[in-house]
Amino acid sequence: MTDVVTLSCPYCGAPTDVHVEADAGHCIEDCMVCCRAIELIVRSDDAGALQVQALRGDE
């Protein structure tokens, strides 16, 4: 199942909607504003809630 998560771009700060799957683990999405690649770390907690961390590719 795919979920839509709104994140802040780690480069420009713009809100960005991304489509992620709970079992994705690691994926890359481009910011719709600045077009830079955002590295996403996707996890599910013990309760099954989706947790997505957005990182800069240069960190």
Domain chopping of the chain, boundaries: 2-56
Position 19 scores a pLDDT of: 86
Tell me the one-letter amino acid at 16.
Answer: T
Burial of 13 from C-beta contacts in 10 A (0-12 / 13-18 / 19+): exposed
Per-residue pLDDT of the chain (59 residues; tens, 9 = 90+): 688 889 999 999 999 898 888 777 888 989 999 999 999 999 887 887 888 899 997 76
pLDDT value, residue 47: 83
Q: Which two tokens stand for residue 43?
A: 């996890």
**What's the pLDDT at 55?**
93
pLDDT reported for residue 59: 63
Q: Please state, in angstroms and rounded to a whole number, the distance separating the CA atoms of residues 44 and 22.
A: 6
Residue 8, pLDDT score: 95
